[in-house]
Structure 1
Amino acid sequence: MFFNTSLNFVAGVIHVALLETYPDTDPVTISWIGALFSSMFCLGGLLGTIVIHLSSTRTCVMLSGLLTLTGFTLSFLVTDIKYLFITYSLIAGCGQSFCCVGPLVSLSYHFQDTYSIALGIATAGSGLGAFVFPPLTQLFLDTYGLNGTFLMLGALGFQSSACGALMEPTEQELSLEPAFCCNRKNNVPEKDMSKWKDRFRFCQAVHYRLLLVNSIAFHLANSSVFLFLPDYFGHLGSTAQETAILLAVAGVTGTIARAILGMLASSIGADILFGVMFGIIGVATFFIKWMFTLGSKISYVLILGLYSGGSWSLQYVLLMETTGIKNIESSMGGLMFCGGLGYLFGPPIAEMLAIHYQDSYIIFVFSGVCFAIASISGLLIPVTAKRYYTRDVIETEIGEKDQLFMENGEEEVILDAN
C-alpha cells in the first residue's frame, strides 16, 4: 500500500507541474485531471472487487502495479494534455485503487481474529506517503522534469506487483470464490437472476446504507477541508512555511491514529469510536474562523489528523463486523465508490458556495455540516446492524455449501447474504 496507494498524495505536486508545463491550458481542465486521479483511489474500488470475485486478491494487487506502470508510462508519451484524463487519471488512478482494496480484503482472510490491529498497521503504512511522496516527487521534478517523474512514479507503483505475488490466498478465500461467479470447472454462466439478488442482498440492509451515507458525507467534508485549508490559514495570517508545518502535523497524527485506533477498535469496539469522532471534527471545523493564534491552529490540525486518519481504520473494521466476511469484497467496493463520489464533488460544491456567498468561511460551514451528517449516520449504524463473527460464518456456512456441492452435484451454491 505504501508504494502504490500512497501515490494519491502526489496529486497536488503534479498539479503545479502541469500548470507550469501547459500554461496555455485552462486551469480548470488541469484541476479536473488532478481531481479525477485523486478520486479514482475510491471510485475504482468497484472494479477492484470485480477482479477479486473473478480471481483473487493476489491478482488484484499484482494488476494494480501493472496499471500504475502502464498509466504513468503512457503519460510520459502523450503530447496532448487531454489524453492525461485517460492515462494519468483513469489508468494510473485505478492502479492505486486496486492496490487499496486488494490488501484490505486479503487482511480480512488472513487476520480474522485481529483484523482491526492488522488493518491499522497496514493503513498506517499507506499514511506514510503523506509526508514521503510529495517531497520525493518534487525532487524527481527538479531532477528529471515532468515526463521523467511520470516514469519514476510508475516504477515505484510497479513494486506493488512484487508484493502482491507474495500474497497467497487462504483456504477461506478460495472456498468463497465459487459463490460469487460461475463455476470454475465448466465456466457455465449463471442464468437465474434471483441468484444475483441473493448475492447483493446486503445492499438492502439499513446499516450498510448508513455506511454509504457516512462515506459520502465524510469524503465531501474531508476533501474540501484539506484542499482549502492552506489558503484559509494564509487568510488568517499564517505564512506558507507555517502552513506547511501544520499540514505535516496533520499527516503525522493521521498516520499514528490509523494504527492506534485500529488497536483500540479490537478492545472497545469500532462502533463506539466511529460516530463520535466525526462530530468532534465537525464542531472544531465550525470554529476555524476564530483560530488566529498558532496554538489554536495546531489544536485543530491535531484533531483533524487524529480523527480523519483513524476513520480509515475504523470504517473497514465496522464494515467487516456488520456485513460479514462473505460479503466483504462487494460491500467494500460499494463503500469505496461512494467515498470517491464525495471526494470528487466535495471541493467543487464548496467552491461554488464560497463564490455565491462571497465568503471562504462557507467552505468550512459546508464541511462541518457534512461531518455532522457523517457523525449522525455513524452513530445509527450499531443500532441497526447485526454483528458477524467471522470464524462462525466460515466454519458453518462454507461447510454447508461444500456439503451440498458434494452430495447434490450442484454447479454452485449461493450463500445467503443475510
Structure 2
Amino acid sequence: MSVVDIEKFSQKPPAGSFPSLDSDHECTRPPFLQHAPQPTSPARSISESGTLELLTCEHQYSDGGFKANLTVVGAFIALFCTFGLLNAFGTFQAWYTAHQLQHMSPSTISWIGSLQLWVFFFSGWPIGRVFDSYGPTRLMIAGTLCYLVSILATSFSVLYYQYVLSQGILFGLSVGLLFYPSLASISTHFLKYRATAIGIAIAGSGLGGVVHPIVLQHLFEAVGFGWGVRISGLAGFVGCVAATLTVKSAPSPTQRGPSSDLKILPDARFSLLAGGSCLVTLGLFIPFFYIVDYARHISVSEHMSFYVLAVLNAGGVLGRLAPATLSDTIGCFNLLAPSAFLCGLSCLILWIVTAKSLATLMLFASIYGFFSGAVISLVNPCVAQISHIRQIGTRIGMLYSVISFPSLLGGPAAGALLTRGHGSFDGLIIFSGSTIIAGSLLILVAKLLVDSRVFARV
C-alpha cells in the first residue's frame, strides 16, 4: 500500500459510510500502541512506522481457543525435540573431544555446533517467505523427515566431515523447518497474549536442553554413542510428527507481504533490532558450547559436568516463561534490552570472577540461563510488534538469517581464544559478555525509536 493509498483512508468518509468508532464494530489499537500519542497525520504515521494500524482490523486474533492453544502445545513439542537438542550441543562437544574427535582442537569441533546455528538461523528468511504464502504444514513435514535423516546419519558417522554434514548442516535445517513455522503460527493467533504464548512454546527448547544432556550422557554410557543417538532421535521423531499435526496458522488476509524483502530494511527500528541481535548472538551461545569443558577445567567430575549444562538450560525454562508473561504487561522491548545487558554482565562478573567451584558455577549457569532464555523468547514478539500480520513470517525469518553469520563465528572464535590463552577461559568469557552487552545497547536504541519516552510501554 502506497502513501497515496493511505491518504485516501485518512480522508473523512461521508456520513453513514462506515460504522461509528463508538459502535460495536470498533477496531481497537494494538496493545503496544494504546499508550502512544495519536498521530498528527495518518499517512505520515503509517508510512514511517511500518506497523499499519489501519490494517490491524483486517486480521482477527482469537487470543485463545482450542486451535490456538493446540498450536502452542505443538510448538512446545517441536522446540523441545529440535531446538532443545541444539541447546545440548555442549554434550556432543565434550563427548567428541574425549572420544571420536579427540585428535582435533575444541575450536575445530565447535564448527559442527556453529554450523547448526548458522543453517538454522540462515534458513529463516526463505522459510518465512514460504510460511507467509503456504502456512506451516508443508514446511514442518519436510522438517520432520529432515530431522529423522540427520539423526540417523549422525549416529552412523565416524569422520569429521560426516558430522559436519549430518549434524551440522542437515540437523540445523531440520530445526529451522520446525522452529519458524511453529512460532510464526502462534503470532497469527495471539496479539494481546502473544509474548506469553511464544514464551510457553520457546520454554520447550529450554526443557529440552535440560533433558537431552542428561539422557544422552546416560545413553552414551549404557548403549554407546550410535544407539544412544538413535534412541533419542526416534523419540524426537515421534514428537515432531505430533507437532506437525497440531500446529496450524490462523487465516490471514489474502494479500501477501511485500514483493521485495528489501522494503523492510529502511525501517530503522527493525535494522537496529537486527544489529543488536547480531552482537548478542555472537556471544550468547558460547556458554552452551563450552561450559561443560569449563567445568572439567575447574576439576568438576565428567559425570557432574553434564549437569552444569542441564542447570543452564533449566534456568532458561523459567527465563523463557516469566519475562515473556511479564512483557505482555510492561512491553517486550522494555524487557529485551535489560535482559540482554544482565546476561552479558553475568558473564563478566559471575563467570570470570566467582565461578571457581561446582556450586558457584551452578549459580552462574542458572542466572545466565534465565537471562539468555529471556532474550531468546522476547526477540520474536519484538519483531511481531513492529510488523504487519502479512510480514511476520518474513521479518522473523529475515532477522534470523541476518544473525546466522555471527552465530557461525561465535563458537570457533571462542575456541580460538581458548587456544590462544593456552587453556585459559578468560578471553573466551570476556568476548562473550562484552558482545552481548554491546548488542543490548543497540536494542535499547531500537526501543527508543519505537517510543522515545523512557518508561513507555513498548
Fold match by TM threshold 0.5: yes
In structure 2, the CA distance between the partners of 1:323 and 1:355, relative to structure 1 (3 Å rule), is: same
Q: In the alignment, what sits opposite 2:343? A: 281
Provide the aligned length of Structure 1 versus Structure 2.
369
Aligned counterpart in structure 2 of residue 96 of structure 1, from 175, 196, 212: 175
Q: In the alignment, what sits opposite 1:114? A: 193
In structure 2, the CA distance between the partners of 1:88 and 1:280, relative to structure 1 (3 Å rule), is: closer
Give the Cα–Cα distance (whole angstroms) in 2 for the partners of residues 141 and 29 of structure 1: 22
Moved more, 269-278 or 67-76: 67-76
Letter of the 1:206 partner, please give it. A
In structure 2, the CA distance between the partners of 1:26 and 1:313, relative to structure 1 (3 Å rule), is: closer
Unpaired segments of 5 or more residues in structure 2? 1-78, 453-458
Letter of the 1:331 partner, please give it. R
1:186-229 superposed Cα distances (whole Å, 9 cap, x missing partner)? xxxxxxxxx633x5412221111111112211121112233334
TM-score (norm. length: structure 1): 0.78
Q: In the alignment, what sits opposite 1:186? A: none
Is 1:67 paired with 2:146?
Answer: yes
In structure 2, the CA distance between the partners of 1:151 and 1:353, relative to structure 1 (3 Å rule), is: closer
Is 1:226 paired with 2:288?
Answer: yes
Contact kept, 8 Å, 1:72 with 1:151, in 2: the verdict is: yes
Give the Cα–Cα distance (whole angstroms) in 1 for the partners of residues 164 and 183 of structure 2: 27
The 5 A counterparts of 1:68-87 are 68-76=147-155, 81-87=160-166
Q: In the alignment, what sits opposite 2:408? A: 344
Shift of 1:23: 5.2
Aligned counterpart in structure 2 of residue 378 of structure 1, from 421, 439, 443: 443
> In percent, how many aligned pairs have the same letter?
21
Q: In the alignment, what sits opposite 2:60? A: none
In structure 2, the CA distance between the partners of 1:141 and 1:48, relative to structure 1 (3 Å rule), is: farther
Q: In the alignment, what sits opposite 2:425? A: 360
Q: In the alignment, what sits opposite 1:55? A: 134
Q: In the alignment, what sits opposite 1:137? A: 216
Q: In the alignment, what sits opposite 1:400? A: none
Shift of 1:297: 4.2
Q: In the alignment, what sits opposite 1:410? A: none
Give the Cα–Cα distance (whole angstroms) in 1 for the partners of residues 292 and 393 of structure 2: 36
1:336-387 superposed Cα distances (whole Å, 9 cap, x missing partner)? 2233322221122233345446653122222222122111011111222379
Give the Cα–Cα distance (whole angstroms) in 1 for the partners of residues 372 and 264 of structure 2: 26
Q: In the alignment, what sits opposite 1:179? A: 256
Letter of the 2:202 partner, please give it. T
Contact kept, 8 Å, 1:278 with 1:371, in 2: the verdict is: yes
TM-score (norm. length: structure 2): 0.72
1:240-266 superposed Cα distances (whole Å, 9 cap, x missing partner)? 566555443332221012111111010
Shift of 1:128: 0.4
Is 1:44 paired with 2:110?
Answer: no
Residue 326 of structure 2 aligns to a residue whose secondary structure is: helix
Letter of the 1:162 partner, please give it. A
Contact kept, 8 Å, 2:344 with 2:437, in 1: the verdict is: yes
Aligned counterpart in structure 1 of residue 265 of structure 2, from 203, 210, 215: 203
Q: In the alignment, what sits opposite 2:84? A: 6
Q: In the alignment, what sits opposite 1:125? A: 204
Shift of 1:69: 1.0
Aligned Cα RMSD in Å?
2.9
Contact kept, 8 Å, 2:120 with 2:172, in 1: the verdict is: yes
